[in-house]
Structure 1
Amino acid sequence: MLLLVDCSSCRTPLQLPAGATRIRCSVCRAFTLIAPDPPPHSHAPASHLPFPSSSSVIPTPTSFINPPSAPSPFNHAPPGPPPPVHGPKRAVIVGVSYKNTKAELKGCINDAQCMKFMLMKRFQFPESCILMLTEEEADPSRLPTKNNITMAMHWLVQGCKPGDSLVFHFSGHGNNQEDYNSDEIDGFDETLLPMDYATSGVIVDDEINATIVRPLPYGVKLHAIVDACHSGTVLDLPYLCRMDRLGQYDWEDHRPPSGMWKGTSGGEVFSFTGCDDDQTSADTPQLSGGAWTGAMTYAFIQAIERGHGTTYGSLMNAMRSTIHEIFDKNKGRELVEVEDGDLLTTLLGLLILGAAPPDEEVNQASQKTQEPQLSATEEFAVYGKAFSL
């Protein structure tokens, strides 16, 4: 059985293989030494052991997938609005291209690089506080494997406090699977696919919620930007904003029928996703004029760059408008030409300007037009609430 032990340096939970005597943290790279359990007849007190005993480690499977019940949502937060986001900023950015496989994507690395650039230049995120996981990283601990992504999510929320602003961005494949614990209205769990999903499995929305949503204390704000197929409710948040083409909206209640609380311990979470749970997201060169990007990531950054990120409602409308420009509703997923299309000259343009025109056709599949989604831990007026990272 895999066990969890806290890193001796940064306290990130690490998955400890059976029999291991030391493990290296993929976040801070420090080694944690594990002492064997004392012999059965030893009377030495635990405090005399030179390193943490493996007997004190918590089993992994149930702690990630079925965590203890969260506090009641009606008594966990002090009165009044949370303090403004002015404290430390921290981000995890994941771009998975599935290189040299049949599932290869072409825009995810660009998505990750553009998101990092935007967070640093537009929202003053320190580079030292941005953890990048892509296949282009030289350090094996920075590859977007299931284990590395899981540990990065733990690092993101570790020790967060009021005033902190956190960002989780994922660009890659998403999927869905049958829900076995009856906490989904539609009967399906949403999943993210790490680069080693074929051998290590997928990351299920239940695990994502338990890791980066439910632990958040009062005053902490988390924004997730997930550019993947079937990603509409991938954070399992209680409320989904249903918005039509005219910008009118209603909040849809996604709280589990079982009554399980899928919100936070007082913090705020907002999730922007590439499409609804039954849709797929495009990986396309049509928006940039040459380089491949995820349609949703491009539309998100473009909306902010053009000054449409004042409120959550204005940001969503701008994103949807950009994506509707390239999708012909009568032809499913077929991409069409954009009149007067221009490449951003400040954010995306600095990274992908000058890319060669694509020499491959975009994969087409008959389906509904991709519709970016917004979900949150609480209902709110989307045109009245200011957006900030």
Structure 2
Amino acid sequence: MSSHKEKTNQQTQEAMFRYKKCRNQNKGEAQIICCNCKGEFHVPPTTTTYRCPRCQAITASSSRNVQSNKDRGNEMGLVKSSFPTKNIIKSDHISQNASKSEYVLNRSPRSFSLVCSFSPSGRSNKRAVLCGVTYRKKRYRLKGPVNDVANMRELLVKVFDFPTECIHELTEEKQCVNFHPTKTNILRELEWLVEGCQKGDSLVFYFSGHGIQETDSKEDEIDAMDESICPVDFLHEGTILDNELNSILVWPLVEGVTLHVIADTCHSGTVLDLSYVYDPEKFTWKNNKPPSKEPSRKNPSGGRAICVSACQDHQMAADTSAFKGKGMNGVMTYLFTKVIKQKPDITYGGLMEQMGKEIEEIMRNNCRPSFLQHMFRPRIVQDTVISSSEEFDLFGTIFTL
């Protein structure tokens, strides 16, 4: 019997390819509908991979194996049996005591193949990858990430003038499985994000989903823990460690390129593993380079990387319906987009301060304080964190993407 990953779900394939099994009688060509822009084009019948002439998206043939969406929520026994219905802590329902090997056994090697090559006739200096993972049909599911991605997309387009064709979204709502937030797809899109970056480029990676901590095996973490993000298939394929995010996203940055990572996930304070973390109590940058047996590389090749995180490494981030009453949102993402829309000329320091004040105000004045107090646990508040590959004047620099 073939393995689970090799099983092909016919309905998923049809949604992905919308492949018409008809051939041009004169040319013997197959007619394809692009899974991205829905444009129609013809290809030779023996072709296995197709690049859309309109949007440049690549679509695999119907013979390609596709990972199914079968529910795997209980396979590893990592999930607690109960959770609040209104406020969900983003990693509290994944056992913190589960050993790393339990969910990293089947990690596959990185395999990159770019799905899209944007702006074939002209290069944009703004690109973004927005990833929202709901883990649907799992007991540790989240309801906010899809709304978070929509909010971030609106912010990038309306406030920071990102071209829509240069924003890639990975969610489980996408019909095309190339755009589901699997580990392989996320890693592929991260490489696309930084590939060929040039001076003046503004790059954004946004992630909303679960995050966990794992024991540091390289002795390059001050707290002896690695932070990681959880793709939708992390139980089978493994998490993506902060070291890996740093090497893929930060190392390739050349002079004049700025990367922003916005992480609305638990334990995300140093998820990009950058050299400096801002201390708001001392109004200064802290060195995040631990003494180690071997020197570790954390910085780019001339560019700048900045990470805005939902909480400190030891804290948990949350989804809540307290803001609008309907629908779930990540607390950090909602406040992040709200503050920037209200104050488009705000500085980095002002943004971090304002988000902190908003959380404190909600804790004091919200009409349903018990919800938020339960959500954040007694006296545990979600403290947003900013880290950077280099020190800069936080209160003298306007926030921009």
Give the TM-score normalised by the residue count of structure 2: 0.68
Q: Percent identity?
A: 41
- From 93, 113, 117, give the equivalent of 2:150: 113
Letter in 2 for 1:305: K
Matched to 1:119, the amino acid is L
Contact 1:271 1:374 in 2 (8 A): yes
Q: In the alignment, which of 312, 315, 322 is matched to residue 276 of structure 1?
A: 312
Aligned to 1:221: 258
Residue correspondence of structure 1 range 1-389 to structure 2 within 5 A: 28-29=57-58, 88-244=125-281, 249-258=283-292, 259-307=295-343, 309-327=345-363, 336-337=366-367, 365-366=377-378, 368-389=380-401
Letter in 1 for 2:322: Q
Distance 1:367 1:63, change over 3 A: farther
Give, in angstroms, the shift of residue 31 of structure 1: 6.0
Residue 249 of structure 1 aligns with an amino acid whose one-letter code is: F
Whole-Å separation in 1 of the counterparts to 2:110 and 2:291: 21
Alpha-carbon distance in 2 for matches of 1:366, 1:158: 44
* CA-CA distance at 1:256 after TM superposition: 3.4
1:366 CA displacement: 4.4
Shift of 1:337: 2.7
**Residue 261 of structure 1: how far off its partner (Å):** 2.1
Aligned length: 292
The 1-side partners of 2:399 and 2:297 are apart by 25
Shift of 1:322: 1.4
Which amino acid in the other structure matches residue 268 of structure 1?
A: R
User: In structure 2, what residue type is equivalent to 1:251?
Assistant: W
Tell me how far 1:88 sits from its aligned partner. Answer: 1.0
Contact kept in structure 2, 1:219 and 1:267, CA below 8 Å = yes
SS in structure 2 opposite 1:305?
A: helix
In 2, Cα distance between equivalents of 1:63 and 1:110: 29
Q: What TM-score results when the alignment is normalised by the length of structure 1? A: 0.70
What is the Cα-based RMSD across aligned positions, in Å? 2.8
Note the alpha carbon deviations across 1:272-326, whole angstroms, 9 max, x for none.
Answer: 0000000000100112333210000011001101116521111111111112223
Task: Please give the per-residue CA displacement for 1:140-198, whole angstroms capped at 9, x wherever unaligned.
Answer: 00000011001010000011100000000000010100000011000000010011111
Q: Secondary structure at the match of 1:170?
A: strand
- What secondary structure is seen at the aligned counterpart in 1 of 2:198? coil
Quick one: structure 1 residues 204 and 25, their matched pair in 2 at CA, closer, same or farther if it must change by over 3 Å? farther
Show structure 2 runs of 5+ residues with no match. Answer: 1-46, 62-107, 113-122
CA contact (8 A) 1:95 1:133 kept: yes
SS at 1:378 equivalent: coil
Residues 218-250 of structure 1: CA deviation (Å, up to 9, x unaligned): 000011110000000000000000113xxx522
Gapped regions of structure 1 (runs ≥ 5): 1-20, 33-59, 65-85, 329-334, 340-358
Take 2:311 and 2:320, find their aligned partners in 1: how far apart are those partners?
15
